[in-house]
Chain A
Amino acid sequence: MVDRDKIQFDLIKLANGERILRLTEPQSGLSLEKKLAPADAVVRQKEKLLSAFEAALARAGLSAA
């Protein structure tokens, strides 16, 4: 289980108008990002990305909890 207080979330607005959400685990530097779909709810997209990131951290043995 990821301790979300240790995960860094970056919301990036690109010059072309696209929006990126990037998650980073600071100790390992492992990060995962997604271009946000403009029509979809941001919170749900974040939760999906966080679940995928949590799984990736677990596979790498880098759970932030």
Chain B
Amino acid sequence: MLPRLNFAVIDLRQFKNLWLHGGFILKDIALADDPIVDALGREAIGQTRIIAREFRLLIRSGLSEKELSITLYHEILEAASVAIANPPAGVVDFNEADFERAARDPHERWGDASPAKLDLLLQFHGFRGQ
């Protein structure tokens, strides 16, 4: 019997330069082979950079497919909520645990993150417009 694969097989190329529901654009997404360490020497497992409505994601490599999927749902929803002055009522009170729940739920219900599912997630939480 073949062993179960336990590393990410989501093709990240489909997310690059991706226009998202709500008028956001995921400009870039990359996996970091080396540890992500900031100027203060702190090790990070991921970083989402937001400038206006543009997002750039850097994620530590080695995550399982499930972890990567949940990370994508989480980072996009939280980035969208931070990026705009008046986020929808559905997310305005979310703390970190709420964002994590809001990311795990679609993964369990819909499966691995995809461009269409990220759009659906944003739409579900009240983001409007292109």
* Chain A residues within 8 Å of B, Cβ to Cβ: 4-5, 7-15, 19, 21, 36-44, 46
A64–B50 Cα distance when bound, in Å, is 16
Number of B interface residues at 8 Å Cβ cutoff, please give it: 28
A60–B49 Cα distance when bound, in Å, is 24
- Is the CB–CB distance between A15 and B96 below 8 Å? no
Q: Which 3 A-B pairs have the closest CB atoms?
A: A9-B50, A5-B52, A15-B43
A11–B77 Cα distance when bound, in Å, is 12
* Chain B residues within 8 Å of A, Cβ to Cβ: 38, 42-52, 75, 78-79, 81-83, 85, 87, 91-97, 99
- Is the CB–CB distance between B82 and A8 below 8 Å? no
Name the prevailing secondary structure of the A interface residues: mixed
